[in-house]
Structure 1
């Protein structure tokens, strides 16, 4: 039987960034091969994996997705099993997500059900995004499931609680990188230059009008600039500046509107301040939109067990699982892990009791779902 805590701690020690999950992939393969199950088929995809566990009388295929990558964060938990990869950390719970998947595979190896089960170990959720190319892959086309589910740890909820809702759960998100190019020069001769610090400050102010003046007040959107860099030293007028930020919306229409407005504002600023502006939207994640019938079915099933169910509000967080839900009916839910520190924090320490809770609950749900005629 799998030792969930040991497995999670093993994975926690080797966080790897997107599309660099080589050790993580090998760890999972080694464990799966140790099961010595002839109903199990493994196919590599980049640094991820598709794992098919064949049913005994299949009618459909049910899928569970677990993301694999860590974050470029220096861990500060002080735990004896903290990351051995300096400046990388599983600060978003993907070590939990993978461990739960392995626990489910172990359970269904020992307790087969009628339907096929597909386990998707997805790289690069934190960026640049593995879900979209994975769902477009030939393997997914061959093994395309009829339903898919995934979970995300939630530090704010106690262990034994899950939270979800029909419809929109996570927002549309886009990275935002804006480079401004002008003409530098001596600080004593500003009239011979085009100052990109001034241009960057002006642009930030303009960007903050988009949500308040261009988006329906009954909708929700965020445009945040989290980082500004520019110039070289104090007595040289900056020839270049760069803004880095994020866009988050509760509708795909608002995302398009915000980008359109950013481009209009930058065109005007290029003329007004005689500079060149380049925009890069980086990684873009589609909204996580839960299938109403399936998530309501899951909620009702969960309420019949000892699990505490919370019907939560949508969040402005982003998750590329939305690309999978766009193609395959399914849902995502929050798993309570009761941590003092939140997601993406260097001190995040989820309660490991949640591992058993998740494996037990999902194994019951998938058994019920996978044995329906």
Structure 2
């Protein structure tokens, strides 16, 4: 019999940390999660395309999947599981169905980032021998800790006298905003009374818990392509339609999109490429951008304005433009009733010194798809933060977590699930009216 996960939290996290896999490539990660879940014993386990409709995925790469699949195979991942995950259908959903009681969802994310992990000896994963073994890829946002929480919570509830249904979403592709929607639209999100989502750190120190985030930004990732006409830059530049020049105008004008009076908006062009040689008028340009808004409506406003700006710049220079939505996620706020419950639980957890009822998030998260789904169906949701001392910011080569926060996260989440079981149904306050019914 395996040693309980709650007695080996650090080793589980470190094993996952060694093999980070980016969005829709989490083949070995999913296989190892399934190995642990099967050892726990659950009432239902859905893997990859059995956990969601593959057509609902967003930001699925056109190529580069097979090398990651073969890497997982070389590292001993179960061949039958890999066959089921072919095409990038990664992730899993585990269900405990234990009779009458509340239906509670827990969402944890599983993907890594295209960031090369530090090799400096004072970086703890180097010093203690669990640095990423995949060059150029790293768990630089704490998803290794999140997965460990998910497994340990699942185990603790499975071994308890819990009455109700617990659904744990081991969600792929959070970093690209691609995995939340398929999980939210799956049958596993049906009729959930409560949803808990959790993140480690985010500039909150070890011993601090935020019971629920507020004001996450709605977000859309956008790809824009501009097609022009090539020509010789010296002999006949007038015969060309310069896609690079059009792209330059589009970028400048995108940053000039007016801010909105109703709330915060953001735009950024993070990647741009064009042209083939210095003496050729560029016939094609491509950019990757994002827009964000304090509300879903404000994000949609920015998305429309960005597309109009790119098309206008292309037309001005005799070119054509297409703008595609790669992925997006809505805004969804934590419910105060559930925040209050989580805060009460956290105050009684050993090692937690500070509990904040709420905090502004200021970033984006596709867990909001699940939150919105549960809230629209009449349930409650919260996205909580378990603090950790991280030496540098998230998404950096030297990011790491204080492993004391592993126990803190498990205790808060298990305590919240058991408290929801005891107190169900948790009374709900009247929902506020939509402050922004539509923006043009």
Compute the TM-score of the two structures, normalised by the length of structure 2. 0.77
Q: Secondary structure at the match of 1:288?
A: coil
Query: Hey, what does 2:44 align to over in structure 1?
Result: 41
Which residue number in structure 1 is paired with residue 411 of structure 2? 360
SS in 1 for 2:409: helix
The root-mean-square deviation of aligned C-alpha atoms, in Å, is 2.1
Pairs aligned (count) = 364
- Pair 1:336 & 2:383 matched: no
Task: Give the one of 227, 231, 235 matched to 1:181.
Answer: 227
5+ unaligned residues in a row in structure 1: which ranges?
none
Among 93, 115, 118, the residue aligned to 1:73: 115
Partner residue of 1:85?
Answer: 134
Cα separation, partners in 2 of 1:367 and 1:312, compared to 1, 3 Å: closer
Identify the residue that residue 63 of structure 1 maps to in structure 2.
105
Deviation larger for 309-318 or 93-102:
309-318
Structure 2 unaligned spans of 5+: 52-88, 121-125, 375-379, 425-440
The answer to whether residue 9 in structure 2 is matched with residue 4 in structure 1 is yes
Which sits farther off after the overlay, 198-207 or 256-265? 256-265
Q: Distance in 2 between matches of 1:211 and 1:316?
A: 20
User: Any residues of structure 2 matched to 1:292-303 within 5 Å, and which?
Assistant: 292-303=336-347
Distance 1:34 1:159, change over 3 A: same
The yes-or-no answer on 1:251 pairing with 2:295 is yes
Task: Find out whether 1:16 has 2:21 as its counterpart.
Answer: yes
The structure with more strand, counted as a fraction of residues: 1
- The answer on whether the counterparts of 2:346 and 2:355 sit within 8 Å (CA) in structure 1 is yes
Alignment of 1:186-335 (within 5 A): 186-188=232-234, 189-212=236-259, 215-216=260-261, 218-303=262-347, 305=349, 307=352, 308-328=354-374, 329-335=380-386
2:138 aligned counterpart, secondary structure: coil
SS at match of 1:233: coil
Q: Cα–Cα, structure 1 residues 169 and 75, in superposed 2: closer, same or farther, change >3 Å?
A: same
1:108 aligns with 2:187: no
* Deviations, residues 37-86 of structure 1 (Å, cap 9, x unaligned): 4x64322224222212233x532111211111111222225521112222
Shift of 1:148: 0.7
3-state secondary structure, aligned to 2:304: helix
Aligned-residue offset at 1:155: 4.3
Deviation at 1:238, TM superposition (A): 1.7
CA drift of 1:190 comes to 2.5
In structure 2, how many angstroms separate the alpha carbons of the residues matched to 1:289 and 1:155?
17
Tell me the distance in 2 between the aligned counterparts of 1:82 and 1:72: 14
* Contact 1:12-1:81 at 8 Å conserved across structures: yes
Inter-CA distance 34–313: structure 2 relative to 1 (3 Å threshold): closer
Counterpart in the other structure of 2:36: 31
Q: Report Cα offsets for 1:6-45 as digits up to 9, x if no partner.
A: 000011112122232222222122222223x4x6432222
1:222 and 1:178 map into 2 onto residues whose CA distance is 17
Q: Are 2:247 and 2:313, in contact at CA under 8 Å, matched by a contact in 1? A: no
Q: Partners in 2 of 1:15 and 1:343 — Cα distance?
A: 15
Contact kept, 8 Å, 2:207 with 2:387, in 1: the verdict is yes
Aligned equivalents of 2:28, 2:310: Cα separation in 1? 43
The 5-angstrom pairing of residues 146-161 of structure 1 reads 146-161=193-208
